[in-house]
Amino acid sequence: MRPITTLIATVFAVSKLFATKIASILPLPTPTGLQNLTNLRTNLLGSVGPLFFAALKDRPSGSLNTPLTVVAAGMAKWLDIYSGVLMVRVLLSWFPNIPWDRQPLSAIRDLCDPYLNLFRNIIPPIFDTLDVSPLLAFAVLGLLGSILNSSLGSY
């Protein structure tokens, strides 16, 4: 989670720096052009927040948009994404010649292995070769996702 947060913060910082450099090169806009830019910025910032935290279009029209429901929807989406990354990690573990020390595979390993190790300590491999701990890991992620999704309609 921390590398993703760092990456997002870095992207925002670089984009802001890039935007200020471009703004210093370009001539100043007219008052009408400045008003159009302000309206565009307001519209973009107003639409990015809900899209980043949750896809609110999937929710029923009568549901509330409280901060708790937005955070719950965002966490549910994050769990869906993490489940996909975890699925890639599990599928790639079937191939013994994968170079896990190279990017982006090392990032996938660093994201998924701490979570999988929680379950590897609980469930030992069957016949010393078949690791069934990802089944429990996916079950826990699915349970958390269903709890978050069901909590969206209850507020």
Same-domain check for residues 42 and 77? no
User: Could you tell me the residue range of the domain that residue 40 belongs to?
Assistant: 1-53
> Which bin fits 29, alpha (ψ -120 to 50), beta or left (φ > 0)?
beta
Phi, psi angles (nearest 5°) of residue 97: -95, 15
Q: Kindly state the average pLDDT of the residues 127-142.
A: 87
Yes or no: say if 112 and 89 are a contact pair by the CB < 8 Å rule.
Answer: yes
pLDDT at position 155: 47
Same-domain check for residues 40 and 95? no
For 56-102, the pLDDT digits (tens) are 455 555 556 677 777 888 888 899 999 999 999 999 888 888 888 88
Judged against a pLDDT cut of 80, whether residue 55 lies above it is answered with no
Tally of CB atoms within 10 A around 120: 17
Same-domain check for residues 39 and 108? no
Same-domain check for residues 58 and 133? yes
Same-domain check for residues 32 and 1? yes
Same-domain check for residues 141 and 71? yes
Same-domain check for residues 43 and 32? yes
Model confidence, pTM: 0.55
Same-domain check for residues 43 and 77? no
What is the total count of domains within the chain?
A: 2
First-last CA distance in the chain: 27
